[in-house]
Each structure stands twice: as C-alpha cells, then as structure tokens.
Amino acid sequence: MAELRIEDLAVSVDGKLIINGVSFGVRSGEVLALMGPNGSGKTTLFMTIAGHPRYNVVRGKVMLDGEDIVKLPPEERFLRGLMVAFQTPTVVPEVRLSTLITAMINKINGRKLTDPAPPSLVNSLMKGIQEVGLTPAHLSRGINHGFSGGEMKRSEILQLLMVKPKVALIDEPDSGLDVDGVFAVGKALLSLANSGTAIVLTTHSAKILHVVKPTRVLVLNRGRIAAEGGMELVEEIEKVGYENFLKAR
C-alpha cells in the first residue's frame, strides 16, 4: 500500500516562510482535500512536495513509502510514483499529447521514450478520453495548445488515469470547468482512487468535493492546518465563507 506522509513541514519562498508546521498523511485509495482561501499555502505545499527548486524546505520531511524524498529532483519523485496535475498546465505546441503520455509510460516501464505505444495503451487512451470528455483530436494536438481552461484540466486528469501513480497531487481540478466538466473530472478521480492511487487535491471552492466525497478534509490558513474533518467542514465553509469559518477557529 502506497503512503505519502508530510511531517512538520516548513517552507520558505524568497526568504519568506509560507508553510509552517504542516503534517498529514494519505494512503492508497484515499482522497484528501486541502481547502483554504487564496494565499493559504495550498499551491506552495504542492510545489514543495513535487520538488520545485524555488521552494526551500526549512524543516520537516516528505515521506513516500517510508523514504524521505525531500532532496530528490522532481524526475526521481515521478519515478517513485508521485505525479502532479497543475492548476495552470504548461502549453507545449511542439509535442503531441499522445506522445507525452506514451513517453511517460515508457519511462516508468524502462523503455525508450520514443518507443511506440503498445496496443494496450492505445485502447486505454480511447477509453480515457471518453471518461474525461476529450476526443481523439485532442491527442493529436500539441500539449494544451489551443485547449480551453476546462480542456486543460481534462487533459491533466487523462494523464493521471493513464499513468496511475501511487500518489496524485491535483491542484484546483475544478477551476475553469462547467457543471458537466466538474462531474466528469470528479468521476474520473473516483475511478483513479478506486484503482489504488492516493489523491491529494486542493480547492478553494467545493464543487468537486460534492462529487469526489473526500475521505478527509484539511483547511489551511496562513501556512498552517486550521481545521481537520470531513464533509461537514465543506458544508460549513459553503454556508458561512472562509472568513467567518476561520474566525471561529
């Protein structure tokens, strides 16, 4: 069983402390939701776990299956089973989406990046695009090139479905999506969790959480965990807003 554990993590960016003493864990098949107002530290936390060099770990550990990966480069974290879906994905017009997905699968399986996709992957891709609401034409286009915001989100989730990482960090999966998009992405995330992936997702709203129904909910504020619970926290935040919710803590 895969497990990601964050232990007393403190992170600074450009000399300013952004995350201060955050600890939590998530295991295979669980969905952990991180909520919080803008600027609460959600994206900083994800970037740190992913290994972005701009984010300096002042103290604490990032444990993946019992190994502290805090000093590993991002590519090594990926090979150990960690994958990130970004809030604002990068646009790469020169590389087809299908080529990227094939290269990722090849890398994980120790093959050459340029090896052709096996028939099993092609079949999975056809099923995956239907699941997230994309088309075969999207696979032939450059990565996120000309994609709408919602299509970018669907593309990120498609990549997760194909790779099936041990741990998926998903930053704001519902931003830019309409109601149908939220439902499709939420159902895809449930499928991913049911396949054994541990999921940590961030959101400052609650649309996606009503579909995914997270195992646990953490609320971040000013780089610390302000509250921990279940869907009752989501419902309270929807009712009173972050400001009133946090005042009561």
Per-residue pLDDT 10s for the chain (249 aa) are: 899 999 999 999 999 999 999 999 999 999 999 999 989 999 999 999 999 999 999 999 999 999 999 999 999 999 999 999 988 889 999 999 999 999 999 999 999 999 998 888 999 999 999 999 999 999 999 999 999 988 999 999 999 999 999 999 999 998 888 899 899 999 999 999 999 999 999 987 788 999 999 999 999 999 999 999 999 999 999 999 999 999 888
Classify burial at 11, counting beta carbons within 10 Å of its beta carbon; exposed 0-12, middle 13-18, buried 19 or more: buried
Cα–Cα distance, 19 to 31 (Å, whole number): 21
Domains with residue ranges and CATH for the chain: 3-247 (3.40.50.300)
pLDDT at 204: 76
pLDDT at 233: 95
Reading the block at residue 71, the tokens are 């000093």
pLDDT at 118: 86
Cα–Cα distance, 222 to 19 (Å, whole number): 7
pLDDT at 3: 97
Q: Which residue has the tokens 């990068």?
A: 90
pLDDT at 117: 87
Cα–Cα distance, 120 to 193 (Å, whole number): 21
35 strand-pairing partners: 203, 219
Query: How far, rounded to the nearest angstrom, does the alpha carbon of residue 237 sit from its chain's CA centroid?
Result: 22
Angle between helices 119-132 and 179-194 (to 10 degrees): 140
pTM metric for this prediction = 0.93
Classified as helix, coil or strand, 128 is helix
pLDDT at 88: 85
